[in-house]
Amino acid sequence: MVVQSANGRFDVGLQSRTSMAASLLSLVDLEVRRGMTVVLTGFNLEVASKDVVVLHGENGSGKSTIIESCARLLPLEAGSVHHHGSLVVDSEGRRFLAKKPFGLTLQSNGLLGDETVENHLSTVCSLSGMKAELLPTLEAYGLTHRRFDRIGQLSGGQARKVAVLAGLLPAMISPQPRLVLLDEPDSGLDDNALAALISDIGKLREAGHAFVIASHHPEIMKCATRLHNLESETIQEQPKCQPWQALGTQEKVSLLSTKTGHRYLRSTRAGLARNGLTALLVLGTLLAFIDPVSFDKTILVGFVLAAPFAAGLAGDPVVYLMREQRAVDWWRAHVNRLPAADFLAPVLGFILTVIGCVLFLDTINWKLSLVGAGVLWVTLLCVRFIELSTLRLARPNAVFIRLLLPILILPWALVVEYAAIL
Amino acid sequence: MRRQIPEMFLGVGFVGIMTTLFLGLNWAPSVSIDAFESPAAQRIFYWHVPSAWAAFIAFGVLFTGSALWFFKRSPFGWRLHVAGTEAGLACGLMTVWSGCVWGAAEWGTPWDWTDVRLNTFGLLTLLALFLVLGRQSQPDGVETRDTFSSFGLYGFVLVPLTYIATRIWQIRHPGPVIGAGDGGGSLQSSMALVLLIGALSFTLFIIGHMMISMRITHLEQRLEHAQKSLDGGN
C-alpha cells in the first residue's frame, strides 16, 4: 500500500509521531551549507525503530549532505542532530560521541587499502564493544575467500561490499535497535550482493533497526518504509519477514584508536617509511659534512635531537594513511580520538636518539634518549593537530600546512639547550 | 571622487615611502659608531620599523575580518580577512627581509632561531603566506572561510606576543620603538621625524592596498556568483 503523507518539506515521519521515545535519529531545523550554497534549510526528520527512510532526488539535492550531517561530519549552520534522543552535533559547534554505535557507509568507501577485510570488519565490531563470527555474513556477500586479503587487492565492487557490510555490522551484531546510514550502498554491487543487501535490510528492519539510505536504485526504493524526496514523503507498507538474529557477543575494548593506529603502521610500515627515513636522511646529511670532534656539546646535542625532530615534522603517518578514500571521515564519525601513532612516536624517537648519541657523542645517553622520545612525540602531536585542523577543506592536501611548522623550532632549540646539561 | 580614495591613499603613501627612503638614507643623522657594529646599516631602521608597524595594522585587520566571518558570517569580514592577509604578507616580507639584511650587518647573522620576537614575527608572516596560498588552492566556500578564519584568529595571539616578546625574552632584538611607553627613548628629533613620516606613509599605503584588495575580492565574488548563475542556466 502506498500512502502520500500530508507532506511538506518540514514534515516528520508519520510512524515516528506515534513514538517519539523510540526515535533513533532526529534532525531538527537543519541548515547546512556546502561551498557557498545552502544545501538544506529548515529540514526536519524523525527516524524511529523499524523505519527504512530512502532519500531520493536529483544530484546535488542534499541526500549525501543529510547522511553526513547525521554522521556528525558536517558543521551545521542551524539546527541539531540527535541519536537515540541525545545530542550529537548542533549549530553551536557542540559535537558529542553518539551514545549508541551506528552503522555508516559513505559514498567513498572509507577503507584503508592496507587493512584486511577481516581486520576492518572486526574493528567495526570493536567500535560497538562487541565481537562476532563474520563467516556467514561474508559468505552471503561472496567475500569468504577474500577474508584475509588486503582491501587494496580487491576489485572496486568487492571493496564496496566490504564498505556496505561495515555499515550494516553494528546492526547485525546488536540485539538493541541501531541506526544505519548508507550513502548509495548499491553503487558497484552485483545482483547477488544487491539481493543480499535488500534481504538483510528487511530482516534488520524487522529486528527493530532503522535505516537512512540515499539511493536512486529502484530495488532499494522498493524496500523503503518511507520514501523521502527531501520535499515530501511517501509511506510504503512492507511485508513481514523473519527478523535478523543478532550475531554479536559483548567484548571489552580499550585503547581502540591506539591499537588500530599501531595495526595500520604494522601492516604498512608507513611510520618507518615516512618518519624513520626522514630522520635517517637528516642524520646522514649531518654526518656527511660534520666532524663531531670540532663542535661543542650543545651543538652536538642539537644534531642528536635533530633526527627525532625531523621525524616528528614529517607528521603522523596514520593521518596520512587515513586520507585514503575518506577513511579519516569514517573514523571521525565514530570516535572523538582518531587512530594515531601513539606507540610508534616515542619508540622511534628513543631509537633515533640512541643512534644519534652513538654517532655524535660516542656514547649512549639514556636521559637524552628519553628527551628524544618526547621530542618526536610532542612534535608529531603538534603537526597532527595542525593537519587535522584543515581536514574540512575541499582539498586538504593542497594547503601549505608546513609553512606553520617553524613555530616548533624555538621550543626545540630550548629543549636542546636544556638537554645539553643532562 | 570617492571611488578614487584607495588610489589616492596608495599614491600619497607611495610618495611618502619614497620620501622616507630618501630622508633615511641621505638626511637623517648617522648613529654613533660606538653604539653599533655597523652604523651605516642602521639606516634600514627607517624602512624596517614602519613596515613592521604597517604589518601589525594588516594583521589587526586580518584578525578583525577573521572574527567577523567566524562569529557573524559577515561577507565584509571575509573581505577584510583577505585584504589583511595580502597586506600582512607584503609588509611582513618587507620587515623580515630588511631585518635580515640589518641583522646580517649588525649581529653577523641574518636570523636567530632563539629570539622569540623574530620567531613570532616570522611565523606571522608565514601564517599570512599560508593563508594567501591556501585561499588560492581551495574553492571558495564556508569550509574554506571557516578554516582559514580560525587560523587567522589563532595567529593573532602572536601579535601581542611579538610586541611584548622583547620586554620578556629580549635576546638580540632591541625593544619596541613605537609605543615604548618611556617617552620615546633615545631617538633624536630628526630621526623621529623621518620615522614618523615613514610610519604615516606606510599606514596610508597599506590602507589603500587593503581597500583595493577588498574591492577586488568583492568583484571576484560577483564574478563567481555570475558564473554560478550561468552554470545553473545550462
pLDDT tens by residue, A284-305: 998 887 777 778 888 999 999 9
The second-level CATH assignment, the architecture, of B2-227 is Up-down Bundle (1.20)
Largest CA distance in chain A: 89
| pLDDT for the residue B164 | 66
Q: Are B122 and A395 inside 8 Å of each other by CB?
A: no
Phi, psi (rounded to 5 degrees) for A214: -100, 120
| pLDDT for the residue A210 | 95
Q: Is 70 exceeded by the pLDDT of residue A2? A: no
Mean pLDDT of all residues in B170-188: 57
B7 touches A at CB < 8 Å: no
CA atoms of B222 and A326, how far apart (whole Å): 33
Q: What top-level class would CATH report for the domain A2-250?
A: alpha beta
A33 vs B177 pLDDT, higher one: A33
On whether the CB atoms of residues B47 and B198 are closer than 8 A, the answer is: yes
On whether the CB atoms of residues A25 and A74 are closer than 8 A, the answer is: no
On whether the CB atoms of residues A127 and A335 are closer than 8 A, the answer is: yes
On whether the CB atoms of residues B177 and B185 are closer than 8 A, the answer is: yes
| pLDDT for the residue A16 | 40
pLDDT tens-digit map of B56-102: 999 999 999 999 998 888 989 999 999 999 999 999 999 999 988 88
pLDDT tens-digit map of A109-148: 888 888 899 999 999 999 999 988 888 889 988 899 999 9
Question: Which stretches of chain B are assigned E, i.e. beta strand?
Answer: none
| pLDDT for the residue A19 | 43
pLDDT tens-digit map of B101-124: 888 887 788 887 777 778 888 888
What DSSP assignment string belongs to A286-341?
HHHH--GGGS-HHHHHHHHHHHHHHHHHT--HHHHHHTGGGHHHHHHHH-SS----
Report the residue from B116, B122, B224 with minimal CB separation from A406. B122
| pLDDT for the residue B1 | 63
Q: What residues does each domain of chain A span?
A: 2-250, 256-419
B232 touches A at CB < 8 Å: no
Q: Where residue A276 falls among pLDDT bands split at 50, 70, 90?
A: very high
Query: Which residues in chain B have their CB less than 8 angstroms from residue A389's CB?
Result: 147, 150-151
The length of chain B, given as a count of residues:
234
Q: Which residues pair with A2 in a beta bridge?
A: A236
| pLDDT for the residue A354 | 95
Mean pLDDT of all residues in B179-190: 60
Question: What mean pLDDT value characterizes chain A?
Answer: 88
| pLDDT for the residue B172 | 61
Question: What mean pLDDT value characterizes chain B?
Answer: 83
Distance from the Cα of A206 to chain B's closest Cα (Å) equals 40
| pLDDT for the residue A220 | 92
pLDDT tens-digit map of B193-208: 888 999 999 999 999 9
pLDDT tens-digit map of A355-407: 999 999 888 889 999 999 999 999 999 999 988 888 878 777 777 888 888 88
Rg of chain A taking only CA atoms, in angstroms: 25
Q: Where residue B125 falls among pLDDT bands split at 50, 70, 90?
A: very high
pLDDT tens-digit map of B35-56: 666 777 778 888 899 999 999 9
| pLDDT for the residue B108 | 81
Q: Where residue A350 falls among pLDDT bands split at 50, 70, 90?
A: very high
B227 touches A at CB < 8 Å: no
Angle (CA) B113-B116-B120 rounded to 5° is 95
| pLDDT for the residue A13 | 42
Query: Which residues in chain B have their CB less than 8 angstroms from residue A395's CB?
Result: 137-139
Of the listed ranges A89-98, A240-249, B163-172, B225-234, the least confidently predicted one is B163-172
Q: Is 60 exceeded by the pLDDT of residue A57? A: yes
A275 vs A395 pLDDT, higher one: A275
| pLDDT for the residue B63 | 93
A16 vs A233 pLDDT, higher one: A233
A–B CB contacts, 8 A cutoff, strictly below: 77
| pLDDT for the residue A309 | 96
pLDDT tens-digit map of A186-220: 988 888 899 999 999 999 999 999 999 999 899 99
Query: Which residues in chain B have their CB less than 8 angstroms from residue A407's CB?
Result: 119, 123
Instruction: Quote the distance between the C-alpha of residue A171 and its chain's center.
Output: 18
* Test the B interface: residue of A61, A299, A400 with most B CBs within 10 Å: A400
Q: Is 80 exceeded by the pLDDT of residue A329? A: yes
On whether the CB atoms of residues A178 and A170 are closer than 8 A, the answer is: yes
pLDDT tens-digit map of A60-90: 788 999 999 999 999 898 999 999 999 999 9
Q: Where residue A347 falls among pLDDT bands split at 50, 70, 90?
A: very high
* Test the A interface: residue of B71, B127, B142, B217 with most A CBs within 10 Å: B142
| pLDDT for the residue A294 | 79
Q: Give me the percent of chain A exceeding a pLDDT of 70.
A: 95
* Test the B interface: residue of A395, A404, A408 with most B CBs within 10 Å: A404
